[in-house]
């Protein structure tokens, strides 16, 4: 796992002067969090606003580190996996996400995006699942 030293805030709070820190995993964290925040199934269960963070810890630095993995497959396709926690006013959960860069149009697409709810809200919601044509 690698974390750029310049990342200290959520994606929407990173100043323009830190734009060079937009590594692929950080962009994917932002896309996954935005998709989760906008999903009615998720907001119905844990409420709004929803925040995303790296680890369940009282340590601020630990919360800011988003576990990630970046790799290129045998076909030359770049993949990024991020897993992080979410919390809303009525509950919490964990997000599992993987995106890949489509070589045909150079855009990032979800391979999967899964939200697993914790505590009394136990259950899962699959928000995205890629099935190749």
Q: Which domains does the chain have, with CATH numbers?
A: 17-129 (3.10.450.320)
Mean pLDDT of the chain: 80
pLDDT band per the 50, 70, 90 thresholds, residue 123: confident
pLDDT of residue 21: 55
Alpha carbon distance 33, 31 (integer Å):
6
| Contact partners, residue 118, CB within 8 Å, separation at least 6 | 91, 92, 93, 94
Which structure tokens are listed for 130?
């890629």
pLDDT of residue 128: 82
Model confidence, pTM: 0.76
């Amino acid at each position: 796992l690698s974390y750029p030293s310049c990342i200290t805030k959520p994606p929407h709070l990173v100043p323009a002067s830190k734009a060079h820190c937009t590594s692929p995993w950080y962009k994917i964290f932002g896309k996954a969090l935005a998709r989760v925040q906008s999903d009615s199934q998720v907001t119905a269960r844990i409420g709004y606003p929803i925040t995303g963070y790296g680890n369940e810890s009282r340590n601020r630095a630990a919360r800011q580190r988003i576990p990630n993995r970046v790799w290129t497959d045998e076909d030359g396709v770049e993949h990024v996996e991020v897993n992080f926690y979410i919390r809303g006013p009525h509950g919490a959960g964990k997000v599992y996400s993987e995106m890949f860069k489509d070589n045909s149009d150079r855009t990032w697409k979800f391979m999967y995006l899964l939200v697993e709810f914790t505590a009394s809200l136990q259950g899962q919601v699959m928000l995205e699942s890629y099935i190749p044509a």
